[in-house]
Amino acid sequence: MTQPIIKIGTRGSPLALAQAYETRNRLMAAHGLDEARFEVVVIKTTGDRVQDRPLGEIGGKGLFTKEIEDALLAGHIDLAVHSMKDMPVEQPDGLVLDCYLPREDVRDAFVSLKYTSISDLPKGAKLGSSSLRRRAQILHMRPDIEVVEFRGNVQTRLRKLDEGVADATFLAMAGLNRLGNANIAQSAVAVDEILPAVAQGAIGIERRADNAEIHAMLSAIADTDTATRLAAERAFLKALDGSCQTPIAGLATLDKNNLTLRGQILRTDGSEQVSGEISGPATDGPALGQKLAATLLEKSGGNFF
């Protein structure tokens, strides 16, 4: 009897496809399945279609996920592969997000055709970014720099740099690594200098709650350390009501059974930031995230955003 095809939903960017193929390859290896058992289904999202406006103007974090989740709920695909930093903190009824692949490099990459690091940028230099977090962080560090809107895939951004639209930009090191383009980065920015986005570098795989077969398959490739770290980071984000409209950074690290969570909130113009750190048992990750969020809001005066 012919085995059913397992359909993997994804965006169509080179990075999204690389993440979908990584997921497929891990499932093939874990279960001894042939490539023919899988089909990668490309789904265009609102965030992909609208390229001429800042993300904050066209919606929140669901910009890169809604159409894919609709296809999952409708049964057109069996699982969906996402960049976790794009994911809302809550899933639609009927969907579950509980499988994460081993996390890649969490750092931001500094990319420029002229300069080697943030400190090398001259006064008045233009830095391109569509990320409110990165914009706020760089303006806080370097208020003498002009930040311009900058969207597109890796090659589009390199072309824009070559055309002089900006002198530098940021990308995620994880994405460059997954595409085999790590050499594009002039430098990886230390997390002590720029704290990354919540869940940066992590791939999440979403499924229907009633699909026990897919749940069992995904359990074989799920990375528990990544799940533990993201539980703390996403609880922190949820407690702050994080969206594409709010500059928030957060990173959890593990040392055996101890978890340390660092967090930062910023005003959109970079004029002010509040940061903090909390540690405790890894099993208390979500509670630590909520507690750190409450601490930062208290330190900020409670009306920071």
Distance CA 158, CA 57 (A): 24
State the chain's maximal CA–CA distance in angstroms.
68
In a shared domain, residues 146 and 121: yes
Rounded to two decimals, the pTM is 0.92
32 lies in some domain: yes
In a shared domain, residues 55 and 118: no
5 lies in some domain: yes
pLDDT of residue 7: 98
Token pair for 219: 């359990």
In a shared domain, residues 209 and 91: yes
In a shared domain, residues 246 and 276: yes
Distance CA 248, CA 265 (A): 5
Q: What residues contact 4, with CB distance under 8 A and at least 6 apart? A: none
pLDDT band at 50; cut points 50, 70, 90: low
In a shared domain, residues 255 and 302: yes
194 lies in some domain: no
Instruction: Name the domain count of the chain.
Output: 3
* Set 52, 70, 78, 86: catalytic member: 86
In a shared domain, residues 4 and 114: no
In a shared domain, residues 98 and 207: yes
In a shared domain, residues 213 and 84: yes
pLDDT of residue 63: 72
Mean of the pLDDT values across residues 7-18? 94
293 lies in some domain: yes
Percent of the chain topping pLDDT 70: 92
Mean of the pLDDT values across residues 280-301? 95
197 lies in some domain: no
In a shared domain, residues 214 and 68: yes
4 lies in some domain: yes
Residue 49: is its pLDDT beyond 70?
Answer: no
Domain, as residue range, for 65: 1-102+202-222
65 lies in some domain: yes
Report the CATH number at residue 234: 3.30.160.40
Report the CATH number at residue 8: 3.40.190.10
Query: Does residue 241 carry a catalytic annotation?
Result: no
In a shared domain, residues 232 and 266: yes
In a shared domain, residues 84 and 149: no
In a shared domain, residues 180 and 254: no
The predicted-structure confidence for 150-181, as pLDDT tens digits, reads as follows 877 788 888 999 999 999 999 999 999 999 99
pLDDT band at 52; cut points 50, 70, 90: low
The predicted-structure confidence for 111-130, as pLDDT tens digits, reads as follows 999 999 999 999 999 999 98
195 lies in some domain: no
